[in-house]
Structure 1
């Protein structure tokens, strides 16, 4: 009896040491093992014992299965999947207990089929010399995604010549996410650092695809179109257009361009290229790239103030001068017209380089999304050069 109680106490302690207390740094805990005889990777967050959340994927298929449930003493009681749209169908369940080095228990289907589950804390392999830097950062920041991407390979697709540069397109077959690398036309070192950013973006989109699929379930839609916009000795610019439905009331779509400084390999923010304010620009103000340092609260507040009080009024003034008819405020009561004079649509404009100038797109609310992406909202380089940003670029 005493030995049984001691064993139970040790299991409880192991469970909390393996799962619960590991969340002091807010990291999810990741396990590898088998469900039945099939290898899986499982991630759990037990910070709230009455609302345990997690996910897992079969290594053969890589697609997430959602987990939710509770932790009571040493027992994890989890449901796989969720009922959507008012459904009330039975779902698979997992019951797991702590072991000395992980978890073990049983998976059960709604029809009663049972399979054993054996898991150990994941031993994440170190990156190799050929591992893409973006993927290498995931080893510690997101080991679950790191392990998923270890099982995925890119497939070479078409080759294309664009503005004197040779592009090699790559596709991740399971998600059909595609993007290109630059094979010739830039010096080797610059080409390598640019390609690291391009392929990092491809893998980021693969991760987003899987996140959308887990959130949206069987009705998920995630389609992308990538279009190079400008490649030069100074910049590489492309636009990523995504049409998606990840659950919720309505599908949506949007643009998310990528602009790269060829000389450094760093992504460019709008403030790096164009600065309409007084004083020195805020460097790297709105980047989204692995390794970039986040803005301090004071910097973030200052940049938001600049966008709202300086940049947006300046953009409206410039576009009104360049395109007075398009920027004319619609007549009262004309609900079908696009009001490009509205300051709220220009605050966080998707932007990219073109041969003739800097393209900035307004961003409308869902009911007026047809007004997005007009073809005329381009600032000529002659104007942009008068208001240089934080990075010295050789613009066309």
Structure 2
């Protein structure tokens, strides 16, 4: 679809790369068992016998170890880890034979230590009655990550008041990632939906953290900050800023806001809030509620055309009138050119007490131009162009 043509901000691209997918679609199989006397969870993709890939973690430590190798006849030979950064270190290996219920064989260290391996097809426990919907869904869509999260907990942190709402902060100790839940100010059902989304996002980020460590190996880094931006009877808005190095040529950073409709718990698209086009606002496919469907090819094309031909030119014209100094055409190629339509092709946006903040996205060499702070569209303007969801704005 045309959404693939839209530029993704770096964090959105990272989350897409590291996000879980259904195992039935890509051939992955998950096993549980022991390596020596240590319980492990192991994932394998043997669809290409000459290029078998996988990973596993010790239940005690939860961090992935990469596997690669081949399946010849009935013998699976795997190398643990890799020397992708020019190292020439001897690596452990596994030699396994398939059984009626899984695999068995040996793990051997570079120094010759041998440990027995016993694996059976994973049979994850049913989600607890009070499990977050995000975690419950993983039991079928990604049992490997589901089993990892079974061994992880959240630690309560500070409490604070923000815009009249009480917040409780939570930290996942192994990853040091944090998120808040809302403890007062909303009807019970609304508050539950909000917190399911917020804490579900925290666990999603924990999965991304472990994916980053797997891809980035010894040079991996995944650091986040979360900031509440706006809470009202209709909206919960926050920004997640991430700095990461996950095996690419360079480290990167970016923002990934969350904007929730309090009454439904769904993510709000910008078209839900602000609509410049003709007719009804376009549908969107980034909601998390049950029954939501992706856009059709025609709808996707219409949204792409609207953003490129209608919304972005309008936004630049508005910002030029509101912030003439900041929107001046730069005098040299190294300056930040906020009149360039391409930098607004993907906009990280969130609510503030003064209006909608819309952040531009520049190429890596000009990433210092991102997140300028001033690019706020006042609510007086937003109210003149209401989106598809009725919201009470300041």
Same fold (TM over 0.5): yes
Q: Is the 1:259–1:268 contact (alpha carbons within 8 Å) kept by the matching residues of 2? A: yes
Per-residue Cα deviation, 1:143-176 (whole angstroms, up to 9, x for no partner)? 1000000110100000011111110000001001
Equivalent in the alignment of 1:321: 321
In the TM superposition, residue 292 of structure 1 has moved relative to its aligned partner by: 4.1
Is residue 67 from structure 1 mapped to residue 31 from structure 2 by the alignment?
no
CA distance in 1 between partners of 2:191 and 2:179 (Å): 15
SS state at 1:134 partner: helix
Listed one character per residue, the Cα deviations across residues 286-325 of structure 1 (whole Å, up to 9, x for unaligned) are 4577874222222222211211111111111111111111
Partner of 1:352: 350
Match of 2:301 in 1: 301
Q: What residue number does 1:235 align with? A: 235
1:387 maps to 2:381? no
Q: Secondary structure at 1:184's aligned position in 2?
A: coil
Q: Does 1:169 align with 2:169?
A: yes
Q: Secondary structure at the match of 1:118?
A: strand
Deviations 1:201-258 (A, max 9, x none): 1001100100000011111111111000001100000000001111222111100000
User: Does 1:128 find its partner at 2:135?
Assistant: no
Structure 2 stretches lacking a partner, 5+ long: 1-21
SS of match in other structure, 2:264: coil
2:258 counterpart residue number: 258
**How big is the shift at 1:26?**
2.5
The 2-side partners of 1:285 and 1:343 are apart by 24
Counterpart residue number, 2:95: 95
**Over alpha carbons, which structure has the higher Rg?**
1
Residue 248 of structure 1: aligned partner: 248
Q: Does 1:365 align with 2:336?
A: no
Distance 1:354 1:23 in 2: 40
Structure 2 residue aligned with 1:221: 221
TM-score (norm 2): 0.92
Contact 2:27 2:47 in 1 (8 A): no
- Which 4+ stretches in 1 moved above 3 angstroms? 22-25, 285-292
Aligned equivalents of 1:30 and 1:200: distance in 2? Answer: 23
- The residue aligned with 1:212 is 212
Q: Is the 8 A contact 1:285 1:303 kept in 2?
A: no
Question: Is the 2:243–2:253 contact (alpha carbons within 8 Å) kept by the matching residues of 1?
Answer: yes
**Alpha-carbon shift at residue 27 of structure 1 (Å):** 4.5
TM-superposed CA distance for 1:282, in Å, is: 1.9
Describe the shift of the 1:224–1:137 C-alpha distance in structure 2 as closer, same or farther (beyond 3 A): same
Superposed counterparts of 1:137-216, under 5 Å:
137-216=137-216
1:19-58 Cα shifts (integer Å, max 9, x gaps): xxx9763242100000000000001111111111111000
In the alignment, structure 1 segments of 5+ residues that lack a partner are 1-21
Secondary structure of the structure 2 residue equivalent to 1:178: strand
TM-aligned CA distance change 1:206 to 1:292, over 3 Å? farther
TM-score normalized with structure 1 length: 0.91
Distance 2:47 2:388 in 1: 42
Give me the whole-angstrom Cα distance separating, in 1, the residues matched to 2:366 and 2:249: 16
**Secondary structure of 2:339's partner?**
coil
Q: 1:257-277 deviations in whole A, cap 9, x for unaligned?
A: 001000111111111111111
Counterpart CA distance in 1 for 2:328 and 2:34 is 63
**CA separation of 1:184/1:218 partners in 2, compared to 1, >3 Å: closer, same or farther?**
same
Distance in 2 (CA, whole Å) between partners of 1:294 and 1:47 is 28
Alpha carbon RMSD of aligned pairs, Å?
A: 1.5
Kindly state the Cα deviation for residue 370 of structure 1 after the two structures are TM-superposed. Answer: 0.5
Aligned equivalents of 2:334 and 2:199: distance in 1?
A: 40
Give yes or no for contact 2:285–2:293 (8 Å, CA) kept in 1.
Answer: no
Q: What SS is found at the alignment partner of 2:49?
A: coil
Contact 1:270 1:286 in 2 (8 A): no
Q: Is the CA contact (8 Å cut-off) linking 2:272 and 2:387 kept in structure 1? A: yes
Greater CA deviation, 384-393 or 355-364? Answer: 384-393
